[in-house]
Amino acid sequence: MNHGTTHQHDVIIIGGGGAGLRAAIAIAEENPSFSVACVSKVYPMRSHTVTAEGGAAAVIKDNDSLEDHIYDTISGADWLADQDAVEYFVNRAPPEMVQLEHWGCPWSRMPDGSVAVRPFGGMKIERTWFAADKTGFHMLHSLFQTTLKYGNIVRYDEHFASKLLLDDAGNCRGCAAIELRTGTVRAILGKSVIICTGGAGKAFPFTTNGAIKTGDGMAMAYRAGVALKDMEFIQYHPTGLPGTGILITEASRGEGGILVNKDGYRYLQDYDLGEALDVGDPRHPQKRAMELGPRDKLSQCFIKEKNAGRTIRTKDGDAVHLDLRHLGAAKIDKRIPFVRELARSYAGIDPVHQPIPVRPVVHYVMGGIDVDSNSATGIPGLYAAGECACVSINGANRLGSNSLTELLVFGAQAGTHAARFAMDRPDYDVSGLEAQAADEGERIRRDYFSMRTRSGSERIAVIRKELHDAMEDGAGIYRDAESLDAACNKIAELRERYAKITLDDQSNCFNTELTAALELASLLDVAQAMAHSAMERTESRGSHQRLDHPDRNDDDFLAHSLAFRAEDGGAPRIEYRPVTITRWPPGKRTYGADSGLKRPADAAAANDDTAASGETR
Amino acid sequence: MSNNGKITLEIFRYHPETDTEPRFQSYEVPYDEDWVVLDAINWIKDHIDGTVTHRWSCRMGVCGSCGMMVNGEPKLTCAAFLKDYHPRAVKVEPLVNFPVERDLVVSMDGFMDKLDAVKPYIIRDDVNDTSEGEYLQSPAELARYKQFSMCINCMLCYAACPVVGHEEEFLGPAALALGHRYNKDSRDQGQSERMEVMLSDEAMWGCTFVGECSVVCPKHVDPAGAIQQAKAMGAQEYFKGFVMPRGAGG
């Protein structure tokens, strides 16, 4: 690879999705004299935040309370969330959401002009802000467009960061990144660094995640010595389209959609999720119950129905039906138009007239880069925010609509703290860091462009496929020691075979085969942390369900797992850190009748179809 | 529809390090009626030729990465189904009206500059503190700009626009629609500032309302409508300029 000139800034952000852009604005606003670099392997508006549909949670209405949002989040997390972090998150959510409104996000509105909210899974009351069903799209574009106001945000679009650069004292000072257009590897340096690179759903074959969700930032931090926390917790979203894995938003159930099995029966009522109210009942959809239960439980119910032979066979595997027909065309077009568009295009189904076949699909990684409640990692000057980070507010199961809010709250927080860190740092030795970036360029040349690799024998797509199969078979919705052992062994084998990978493309310009190879390396690291962390946690909690250890075990596992990478790439070392419990002692997680709808009258009013969203199509 | 099981893709190839001019390369791929053109390109890259170069991510029509010319028409390849072309071959080229970086990848530099130029953000003199809550905006006020906020920056409209083709400086459909989106937002007060940029784009007046941009837009943004509305607003603004000094008007 060519060596490029070094670029120097104050704070370096890796990743240009929601969290990265929010961090960039926080720094640019608070420190007008700072230069902020935003390094992304894609143009920011391509980032995966763009695909989020249903909404973002924040307490704004008089009938809601911060206390309830906190409790919903902690119980939804099966008590694995740090309660101080959840309190901070819930308290900061409303001002962050209002701030985004001030920056132009086109939130759907009530007739009086205030923002509208809708119910979401696991939430006691409707508190999910939405922009029809393209919430992530509007949030990302609003953030991106707002960054254009600030002359001190410098973008490195289509730069693939491949390595963190640390100075002799162990402070993080930037990254080495490949400029895709030229293949040049350059050092992009600053006084602090924030990783905002999103999740790693592409470790699995069937996922809502886009191609770019390959855990690059997680892997970079992991290689630099930071632990990956709670990686065994992988969220399956209960309603993806079979075949493509395209997401059908939870908002479709928030608006009243129901899930039925092959007999047309609302099977969730058989699994402790409450009573199946008639869809015409004004109390439907009931919060924290049935179709508005949490994602982990709904995905697990699907497997139980499948095992009982009550799912529907489709050419793309088993499915259940998401029935929206009773909502009617007008409501579907106003509140969830994208659902109709996606179902029509990709499933050939018009949900106004037919139920949509759906099945659980890998959606979100609860775990991530170990950060404290200030978004700081253990490496001085290195921060992380968004899906790539694990604070943890999501614990063993994230509630739908908390992640979009999370990227605002913790993106802003990481920006503030990283800027503060950078403020009184002395200048650093550029030449040492440049040398590291040059070494990284050499490593890439050696590993992917030398004659050795040309005579290699492994293809990216083959290893990726085998990794996918290993993760789906071994570390899916239900796991046990045997399945996880097989996954761990397979990953070890694939890591060895990876060294023999062959690239057809030996050129510098826009080499997407090289980036695919680097992404596969990230996935192998991240998947290894996932499988080994899952193996070590011999209990069942939230999204981590062990058939051989079916109960939650607070005595031994009310703790975050921390996976530390082994130098030789072998099995990671797993340690545990107790969960921070403040005011909410671990309890039984209940949904359905017990969890209670607080004020049915308010809920029914807010859910009334008069909450116009202003859709024009 | 599983007849003969194969389909041919003719892919535009150009590598600036080795090619003096572009060429086409044919690949035969398995035919699956559920596949989109993007699936076929990915299959080629994974299984036949790793040097084929393209952009993609979400494969659900919202990230805007995978716009290409498919049999001569600008399309999101994640939303262009093989069954609409089979058994004919599918010709895939990079979006026209953009410089080609490599194969199916075009340079976005000019496009990004144009987005930036229209000041696509809320401009206000009086900024409320977040503790005062949201700015109220009625559903009707939202409806005035919502359609123009749906642009995914896929650039298909630039490939379709005859003016973009010969006027390199033209801000173009997506950027003008985005500027118009903020002008129409009840929370915004930056219309004069923005119109100054939009009106100085002489090519905007050259937009003949052929409406090709709106036809190819996968998100029904109707940039042609936005440009016509902006022109009308611009004409008012222009005449106001004669009546009162700049800055005094609306």
Q: Which segments of chain B are extended strands (E)?
A: 6-13, 23-30, 67-70, 73-76, 90-93, 100-102, 105-106
- Of the ranges A491-495, B26-30, B225-229, which one carries the lowest mean pLDDT score? B225-229
Q: How would residue B189 be classed by pLDDT, with cut points 50, 70 and 90?
A: very high
The CATH T-level fold of domain A7-236+363-436 is: FAD/NAD(P)-binding domain (3.50.50)
Higher pLDDT, B166 or B47: B47
Q: For chain B, give the mean pLDDT.
A: 92
Q: Residues in chain A with pLDDT < 50?
A: 596-617
Looking at the fold, whether B59 and B138 belong to one and the same domain comes out as no
State residue A380's pLDDT score.
97
Interhelix angle A135-147/A402-423, nearest 10 degrees: 20
Residue A62, C-beta contacts closer than 8 angstroms, at least 6 positions apart: none
Instruction: Point out which residues pair with A163 in neighbouring strands.
Output: A176
Q: Is A288 a catalytic residue?
A: no
Does B157 lie in the same domain as B136?
yes
pLDDT of residue A51: 98
CA distance linking residue B132 with residue A578, whole number of Å: 39
Contact state of B134 with A98 under an 8 Å Cβ cutoff? yes
- Which structural domain, as residue segments, surrounds residue B214? 109-243
Q: What is the mean pLDDT of residues B149-176?
A: 95
Is B113 in the same domain as B84?
no
Would you state the pLDDT for residue B4?
66
* Spatial CA neighbour of B121 closest among A98, A103, A139, A23: A103
Same domain? B48 vs B120: no
If asked whether residues B51 and B150 sit together in one domain, one would say: no
Which among A46, A98, A246 has the least Cβ separation from residue B133?
A98
Look at residue A17 in the predicted model and tell me its pLDDT.
Answer: 98
Question: What's the CATH code of the domain at B84?
Answer: 3.10.20.30
Q: Where in chain A is the domain with CATH 3.90.700.10?
A: 237-362+589-606
Tell me if chain B has a CB within 8 Å of the CB of A244.
yes
How many whole angstroms separate alpha carbon B189 and alpha carbon B208? 29
Q: Are B61 and B154 in contact (CB under 8 A)?
A: no
Closest Cα in chain B, distance from residue A134 (Å)? 9
Per-residue model confidence (pLDDT) at position A455 = 61
Q: B123 and B100, same structural domain?
A: no
CATH 3.50.50.60 residue spans of chain A: 7-236+363-436
B137, A113: Cβ pair inside 8 Å?
yes
Residue in A94, A95, A505 nearest the CB of B50: A505
- Is residue B241's pLDDT more than 70? no
Q: Answer yes or no: do B130 and B224 share one domain.
A: yes
Tens of pLDDT, residue by residue over A503-533, are 999 999 999 999 999 999 999 999 999 999 9
Is A237 catalytic? The answer is yes
Q: Looking at B58, B78, B106, which one is the last position of a domain? A: B106
How much is the ipTM here? 0.95
A436 touches chain B (CB under 8 A): no
Answer yes or no: do A42 and B65 touch at CB < 8 A: yes
DSSP A193-221: EEE-----GGGSSSBS--TT-S-HHHHHH
Active-site residue among A155, A253, A532, A546? A253
Structural domain includes residue B197: yes
Q: What pLDDT score was predicted for residue A1? A: 65
* Cα distance between residue A159 and residue A141, in whole Å: 20
Average pLDDT over residues B136-154: 98
DSSP B70-87: ETTEEEETTS-BGGGTTT
Q: Which residue of the set A237, A321, A363, A549 is catalytic?
A: A237
Asked whether residue B50 falls in the same domain as residue B152, the answer is no
Same domain membership, residue B122 and residue B97: no
**Three-state SS annotation for A246-294:** CECCCHHHHCCCEEECCCCCCHHHHHCCCCCCCCCCCCCCCCCCHHHCC
The pLDDT of residue B239 is above 90: no
Q: Is A48 on the interface with B (CB under 8 A)?
A: yes
Q: A193 - beta bridge partners?
A: A12, A382
- Is B250 domain-assigned? no
pTM: 0.95
Of B106, B140, B160, the one marking the end of a domain is B106
pLDDT category, B125, cuts 50, 70, 90? very high
Closest Cβ opposite residue A508 in set B17, B60, B178: B17
Query: Domain total for chain B?
Result: 2
| DSSP-derived secondary structure for A552-606 | --HHHHSEEEEEE--TTSSSPEEEEEE---SS--------SGGG--S-HHHHHHH
The third-level CATH classification (topology) of the domain covering A237-362+589-606 is Flavocytochrome C3; Chain A, domain 1 (3.90.700)
On whether both B122 and B239 belong to a single domain, the answer is yes
- Record: contact A111-B63, CB cut-off 8 A: no
Put simply, the chain A residues between 123 and 142 with a CB less than 8 A from any chain B CB are 134, 137-138, 141
What are the residues whose beta carbons fall under 8 Å from the beta carbon of A316, sequence distance 6 or more? Answer: A242, A243
For residue B210, the model assigns a pLDDT of 81
Q: Do A138 and B185 touch (CB under 8 A)?
A: no
Co-location of B221 and B166 in the same domain: yes
Give yes or no for A614 touching B (CB within 8 A). Answer: yes
Residue B249 has pLDDT above 60, yes or no: no
Enumerate the residues of chain A whose CB falls inside 8 A of the CB of residue B141. Answer: 113, 614
What sections of B105-161 are H helices per DSSP? Answer: 109-117, 139-146, 156-160
When scoring B42, B57, B113, B116 by the number of chain A Cβ atoms within 10 A, the one with the most, hence best to mutate, is B57
When pLDDT is cut at 50, 70 and 90, the band that residue B32 belongs to is very high
Domain end, chosen from B106, B126, B154, is at B106
Whether B14 and B102 have beta carbons less than 8 Å apart is answered as: yes
Q: Does A466 touch chain B (CB under 8 A)?
A: no
Shortest distance, CA B169 to any CA of chain A (angstroms): 20
Q: Indicate whether B169 belongs to any domain.
A: yes
Write the class of the CATH domain A438-578. Answer: mainly alpha
Q: Would residue B249 count as lying in a domain?
A: no
Give how far the C-alpha of residue A485 lies from the chain's centroid of Cα atoms, to the nearest Å. 26
Predicted confidence at residue A328, as pLDDT, reads 98
Same domain, B131 and B161: yes
Question: How many interface pairs between A and B have CB atoms less than 8 angstroms apart?
Answer: 176
Q: Closest partner residue to A104 among B46, B133, B185, by Cβ?
A: B185
CA geometry: angle A589, A86, A64, nearest 5 deg = 75
Q: Which residues of B touch A117 (CB under 8 A)?
A: none
Interchain CB contact of A102 with B (< 8 Å): yes
Give the domain CATH number at B180.
1.10.1060.10
